[in-house]
Amino acid sequence: MKLEILEKDKVYHIYNRGINGETIFNTDENKRYFLKLYLKYLECKVETFAYCLMDNHFHFVFQINNEKEVTQALSNLFNAYAKAFNKQNNRTGSLFEKHFKRIQIENEEYLKNVIQYIHLNPKHHLDLDYKSFSFSSYKAILSDKPTHLLRNEVVHLFENIDNFIYCHDFKNEILSEKQKLE
């Protein structure tokens, strides 16, 4: 399988999961450490729209600032986290599936849908309240606290903060009804 090259100024949905679907975040501290490494390795290389860290997988949507360095930075992030996780849990071997998945986002409508999908992950994977989930960018978008996220750009995509909330609630209702029918 040929992997898509990450290109400067393009927006991507990046995601991966634990090998064989295994847990990659045992604790909230693991998730905080992963986000700390994310900033360390990627802060100057990407602009982040959204993220969500679940126990066995993660999602990010970001725009590439520096194409030559971002793939190596992602590799460094994943390797640094895997080494720390393996040491902490007295395990060896791969933590993540072989290659992180990447989908280029080519239009605003798709970007809005991916952001909502990522934010709704806690609800539709673990039946958790996505609005209060600590390891998603949803609350940070609503907050007025400083953030590394592209908060204003995300709000602008949805026109305003009220519509951002409405669109998430509406998408959540649709997905909930769909789950009931399955």
Residue 95 has what pLDDT?
Answer: 97
Residue 136's contacts (CB-CB under 8 Å, 6 or more residues apart) are 50, 51, 52, 53, 118, 119, 121, 122, 130
pLDDT tens column, 126-156? 878 999 999 999 999 999 999 999 999 999 9
What angle (nearest 5°) sits at the alpha carbon of residue 117, between those of residues 112 and 120?
A: 125
Residue 1 has what pLDDT?
Answer: 52
Of residues 2 and 102, more confidence is placed in: 102
pLDDT tens column, 19-46? 999 999 999 999 999 999 999 999 999 9
pLDDT tens column, 54-96? 999 999 999 999 767 899 999 999 999 999 999 999 999 999 9
pLDDT tens column, 85-95? 999 999 999 99
Taken in order of first residue, the domains within the chain and their CATH numbers are 11-181 (3.30.70.1290)
Amino acid identity, position 13:
H
Residue 2 has what pLDDT?
Answer: 63
Q: What counts of helices (H) and strands (E) characterise the chain?
A: 6, 4
Q: Which is nearest to 35 in space by CA: 155, 137, 162, 109?
A: 137
pTM over 0.85: yes
